[in-house]
Amino acid sequence: MKFTTSKETLESALFAARRAVRHNSPLGILQGIHMTVRGDRLEVVGTDTELTIRYTAEVEVVDEGEVIVNAGIYDLVKRLPAGPVEVERAENELLLRYSGSEARVSVYTGEFPAVPSVDGRGIEVDAAEFLNAVGQVYFACYGELDRPILTGVLVNSHFDLAQPLPIFAD
């Protein structure tokens, strides 16, 4: 696996995926981020088996491949100087080359959990309207840590998915 991208693109991808990673997971592999390079795309996946975040970005691919690295790689990448970053897998480590320097990160061996694909039609919702709608009800579940079943917001659609999903705002 070998690709080149900007520091900002790599940082954004790792930031998104690491938000789904629990750092105290009893399964070491779940403390990692799965990176796959195919075609001209980098796919980065983080999961705790309940929540999965998949982020895709366009990169310059030299060799396709995949690797699992500790989610802490984000802390390294965010401290890199702006500019291009070359990422390459070599044996049991991932090499990051940037601004004439190099960093090495150990990789996990093993099988990353299968991430279910979402088949069928999706919906698009304006982010600001969605956040506004959730903001109107989240207070009802916020802070109920002793009753985890009540710490979520149910989003349900009974609309024709061929039409835009209406979100009611003030």
| 46 and 16 together in one domain | yes
What pLDDT band is residue 109 in, cutting at 50, 70 and 90?
confident
CA–CA separation, 108 and 110 (whole Å): 6
The reply to whether 37 falls in a domain is yes
Domain that holds residue 86: 2-108
The reply to whether 158 falls in a domain is yes
- What is the tally of structural domains in the chain? 2
| 97 and 20 together in one domain | yes
CA–CA separation, 52 and 21 (whole Å): 8
| 136 and 96 together in one domain | no
CA–CA separation, 4 and 60 (whole Å): 5
Say whether pLDDT at 55 is over 80: yes
| 32 and 79 together in one domain | yes
Say whether pLDDT at 20 is over 90: no
Say whether pLDDT at 162 is over 60: no
In DSSP terms, 107 is beta-bridged to 69
| 61 and 96 together in one domain | yes
pLDDT recorded at residue 129: 85
pLDDT recorded at residue 82: 95
CA–CA separation, 9 and 80 (whole Å): 12
Q: How far is CA 15 from CA 9, 51, 71, 98, in A?
A: 10, 15, 9, 19
CA–CA separation, 49 and 29 (whole Å): 11
Among 108, 128, 156, the domain-final residue is 108
More confident residue, 92 or 165: 92
| 124 and 146 together in one domain | yes
> What's the predicted TM-score (pTM) here?
0.72
| 50 and 90 together in one domain | yes
pLDDT recorded at residue 84: 97
What pLDDT band is residue 100 in, cutting at 50, 70 and 90?
very high
